[in-house]
Amino acid sequence: MDLDSEQSSDAGFPPSVRPILDDPWNRGPGVPLDGPLEGTSFSITTMGFLTGFLALGTAFLVFQLVVSPVLLLVQIGLSEGGMEMMQTMSDTSELLATYTRELIISNSGGQLLGLAVPALMMARLHSTRVTGYIRFRRVDGRFLLLAAVGVVALQPVVQWLAQVNQQLPLPEAVQAFEQTQLELIQTVLESGLGTTFNLVALALIPAFCEEILFRGYAQRQFERASGAAIGIVLSGVLFGVYHLRPSQILPLTVLGLYLAYLTWRTGSLWPAILVHLIHNGLAVLAARYVRDHPQYEFEALEQAPMPWYAVLGGFAIFGGVLYVLHPLARRIRDE
């Protein structure tokens, strides 16, 4: 990106305020860069990378190490005999089995207060038009339909990539950590708390919170620092790493790249939120199906080989979605 592309004034703003000029989806005067961080002496490249990585790292630590644990301890402390009971527990699995609902609620609250809120606060440091800055814009319904078809077609591909990923050698400590995470996910999905509760806590809230952070703020910063391609790649790869599941990095990265591409190409956060919601929602519904059919096992289904024709068909349909969406976005944008 040309460093001078964001240093021109616009007739819609005072001379001292510059808008984002490299976002072709901006309408009217654009998004003003009138926040405190825009008055620093840092170059756009330095500021973009610095704030993007800082937001992701800080949000992750606040979510995982501060907000979620505090919310969990508060819930346990408010329950009758909760703290005494927790002190007698021997391992994490016992804690999870006893306080499954509290863990899910603390995780959801942690995402809201640790991921979404910090991202919105950071965006406000760049612009008074926070929604425009993170691309919370109205979107053409055709984009939503294509995005949904794309993520459904991507499911067998993601499953196949997960199986490929699992063949890669991992240290025993990492494998043990992965197993603990898998057991935790399985316990939550099969907890019997209700499909609606799980869809809200495990699909809807993560879809909003993670997309606001990754695609809304971090991707915007990376794009400003080094252009759309770098912004998409960094947002997608870091999304895969963020979940701390080494055996799932490949499928999560591919999903992250799709989410990042959609945000850039459609100029809106809504397609990415919808895709994220559908992807997580399908996992919740699959877990409900497994729970209602005892002849199936969660882990066995996750590791079941994916037929080659399903993978090939998924690739073909997904490629067709991108083939249609890419030029369509240009036509709609230029209307």
- On the question of pLDDT at 115 being above 90, the answer is yes
Among 24-28, 176-180, 323-327, top mean pLDDT goes to: 323-327
- On the question of pLDDT at 28 being above 90, the answer is no
- Count of CB atoms situated within 10 Å of the CB of 81: 8
Question: Percent of the chain at pLDDT above 70?
Answer: 78
- On the question of pLDDT at 87 being above 70, the answer is no
Task: Provide mean pLDDT across the span 192-206.
Answer: 88
pTM, entire model: 0.89
Lowest mean pLDDT among 169-178, 223-232, 252-261, 292-301: 292-301
Lowest mean pLDDT among 64-73, 84-93, 310-319: 84-93
Task: Provide mean pLDDT across the span 260-277.
Answer: 97
